Structure 1
């Protein structure tokens, strides 16, 4: 079969791949994007069934000052709404807290808990800095809480509430039990400025980035061969079930969970392969509940439950203003997502509703519609995003992206160290790959206007 020849072949039409391809094409390169799915966007996926618009994948820009996504979304004129609570913060926006007995905390009790969480956040910085790799996030949070509790005279219940808060943060931020996340796995988080969501769907960003690109859907890549390596590489051959593609360069953006399904010939350098092996895909699913009428307080961003009864279902986010109908979003995260993975929809929704009824009573109405995600079962992700397993270092993100023989580049959210597991990380990694291939600096604004030269 005759190979098609390109300057660069990009594997994956998620945000990282689309950004790399768009920037390379803006510089006159002939670029092809190969995508295994029958759609673009990757983990940016908006369901538009019926009259509803639901982001089943990425939802938030976690800090509009922390990266280029907000800048590019503004440049494309995409509508956005402020919703600053997606980073699992204790305060900052109105949150209705309910204690272990399911009664709502008073304003003073809430203020005290929020202050306690903020106090431990400060303490954590030093504890994490002193912790060796392979120390878990659970270990450092307990050390931090224990130290403050002893100095300031906290009782056991007060300390327990803060410990469980940080355990839940690990689950909601990285979709993993705090005992399995490396202590350094949350220190690279960059949240600067308000958080925003997309009322018309996050996939509008992917669509605008993809405009004008040569994208081949349903092309499953199974082998990447560096021609001439390990001597002097003269290019890359990308083999798919629909035939081979040749190029001077390749950018592979497949998630950590599926990159092992691609044969690299010669094999990836040991430093790159070792770095990849230190990451794992998480277990993180969304559960949407839509109601005919709103029965919770209309002035809160979220509802949170404390105590053992909230081991799994502890946070519900009010998306009413985003969705245009009374809607609560909760997450099955970490062990909860793993254990409920095989549950029927009916079983899962009943479990969530039972937890809500402990707060709002048996008269709470049934939802008019419920929906769940199943990223763990998606063959092209095998999870929602990557997390740092025990022993992983922050530098391992960047090690994955080390250019290989000057022809092969790995990109994607797991390869960006500043704020991994975000769309910002995906965008930045695709931008970096394009700059490395071209050998020039490129303004992010070129994604909106290819002729621009300034940031």
Structure 2
């Protein structure tokens, strides 16, 4: 049996980053990946001759981003596509009212101003919230206050804003608004432009992993730790090392698919139990011709017209073909992933035809994700559920008995649910094992010199 210095479980962004940094430092490293591919929740479908990012798509804010520095060093092309934190406005949007009718510019501006007023009230409610309160609690308190004001918003507008806040939680966290802690969106800020990847986002983990000992199809069942190190058991093989880095998604940890012996201490088990794992699914529809305004990067329906399908993003710049991306998240996302493709496509098209009528043709192609049903992710990304806190993210990364480490987006409190957070957590895990800081510029040079662009 070959003994390694470190076994990394999971070949997503955090896993390959930690493994590559350790390997570059001269350590014997083995990466075990349950899937038949590298990348984890970074998954690009290139079968159609262009890239469709079924998992992560964006770098959310490039200012001060170490991930952005890596992308630049690797000369990976990007396109600016700044979405923001599910804003009411901010970029060119085509708004539709509750009946599906297009809103005039003045009506859209009024809507954006009303959301800004409600947002200010919501931030006050969050600041005054008690421990354990949900985002639903503070939202309702803020809207109740607006209804009592002298120049109160009318009830229909209050309901539209209520739906906007619910959709924001679904898109940002993949969760129902009542399951998110009142402070669950505190870190929801974008610094600088956002970018997408015409060649596909998973080029990054693939290039980092180039040259690593990565074993695909290795589903880890048990991790046994002792003072001497760790023993990792898969369905057919056993591996040993002085240390291990577990980078599987929070959903897998919550499912108890991996057995830890002895049981994880409360310092890790507590955060795993308290943090939430959301469901966020993508539906791409490609059309034979564009029927929407080319100047709008988002189509958004308010009120009843947008109860389920409410936002469509124009991602045509990736393939050069007319393509809209919409999302099904939270409880609705869990429902949608139980449907077959035909039913999902028909429902989305029905919603679009409520807005554009017969101008909407039948889609020529589609892509639909079902991350909540994926046994190797069991969800899309983490969030601060009621009863948890930002501290739980970082507490989960605390080393256990000096031999077991956790990494991944769920372990990075200042930027959870992002590729940037996953990257940073992989760096942190490697630094803790090495006992020193690493040079990320040298790391980028190493990856660039040894990897081939997609």
Shift of 1:145: 2.9
Tell me how many residue pairs correspond in the alignment.
445
| Aligned partner of 1:381 among 353, 377, 380 | 377
1:263 matches 2:262 = no
Find the aligned partners of 2:153 and 2:404 in 1 and give their Cα distance: 54
Residue 238 of structure 1 is matched in structure 2 by 232
- Determine the C-alpha separation between the residues in 2 that align with 1:193 and 1:119: 24
SS of the aligned residue for 2:178 comes to coil
Q: State the match for 2:23 in structure 1.
A: 25
Please state how far the C-alpha of 1:195 moved relative to its aligned partner.
0.8
Work out the CA distance in 1 between the residues paired with 2:361 and 2:429. Answer: 51
**8 Å CA contact retained: 1:66, 1:191:** no
Answer whether contact 1:26 1:446 (CA < 8 A) is retained.
Answer: no
1:110 matched to 2:104? The reply is no
* Correspondence for 2:140: 142
* Residue 298 (structure 2) aligned to one of 297, 302, 315: 302
In the TM superposition, residue 164 of structure 1 has moved relative to its aligned partner by 1.3
Aligned to 2:423, what secondary structure does the other structure show? helix
What is the CA–CA distance in structure 2 between the aligned matches of 1:436 and 1:326, rounded to whole Å?
Answer: 47
Determine the C-alpha separation between the residues in 1 that align with 2:65 and 2:124.
26
Q: 1:451 deviation in Å?
A: 10
CA distance in 2, matches of 1:126, 1:424: 29
> Deviation of residue 167 (structure 1)?
0.7
Shift of 1:86: 5.6
**When the two structures are superposed, what TM-score results if normalisation uses the length of structure 1?**
0.94
Q: CA deviation at 1:153?
A: 2.3
How far apart are 1:244 and its partner, in Å? 1.5
Alignment partner of 1:181 is 2:173: no
Deviation track 1:20-74 (CA, whole Å, cap 9, x = no partner) reads: 1111112111111110111000000000113231000000111112532211111
Report runs of 4+ in structure 1 exceeding 6 Å deviation.
none
Report matched runs for 1:407-422 at 5 Å. Answer: 407-422=403-418
Q: Distance in 1 between the 2:146 and 2:75 partners?
A: 47
User: Alignment RMSD, CA only?
Assistant: 1.7
Counterpart-to-counterpart distance in 2, 1:188 and 1:86: 13
Shift of 1:150: 3.3
Asked if structure 2 preserves the Cα contact closer than 8 Å seen for 1:59 and 1:198, the reply is yes
Distance apart, 1:118 and its partner CA:
2.8
Equivalent position of 1:198 in the other structure: 197
Q: Distance in 2 between matches of 1:136 and 1:309?
A: 26
CA deviations over 1:381-430 (Å, ceiling 9, x no partner): 11111222221111111111111011110111111101211101111111
In structure 1, the partner of 2:452 is: none
Whether the 8 Å CA contact 1:190–1:418 is kept in 2: the answer is no
Listed as ranges, the matches of 1:312-351 within 5 Å are 312-351=308-347
Alpha-carbon shift at residue 341 of structure 1 (Å): 2.1
Among 248, 258, 261, the residue aligned to 1:254: 248
Which of 43, 54, 57 lines up with 1:56 in the alignment? 54
Q: Distance in 2 between matches of 1:41 and 1:422?
A: 14
Partner of 1:209: 208
**How far apart, CA to CA, are the structure 1 residues paired with 2:162 and 2:270?**
32
> In the alignment, is the contact (CA less than 8 A) between 2:282 and 2:368 conserved in 1?
yes
Partners in 2 of 1:142 and 1:65 — Cα distance? 34
TM-score, with structure 2 as normaliser? 0.94
1:361 and 2:360 equivalent? Answer: no
Kindly state the Cα deviation for residue 117 of structure 1 after the two structures are TM-superposed: 2.2
Kindly indicate whether residue 402 of structure 2 is the aligned counterpart of residue 406 of structure 1: yes
Alpha-carbon separation, structure 2, partners of 1:451 and 1:301: 34
Separation of aligned partners in 1, 2:371 and 2:216? 20
User: Following the alignment from structure 2 to structure 1, what is the Cα–Cα distance between the partners of residues 16 and 121?
Assistant: 40
Give ranges in structure 1 of 5+ residues lacking alignment. Answer: 228-232
Shift of 1:116: 2.5
Worse-superposed segment, 47-56 or 109-118: 109-118
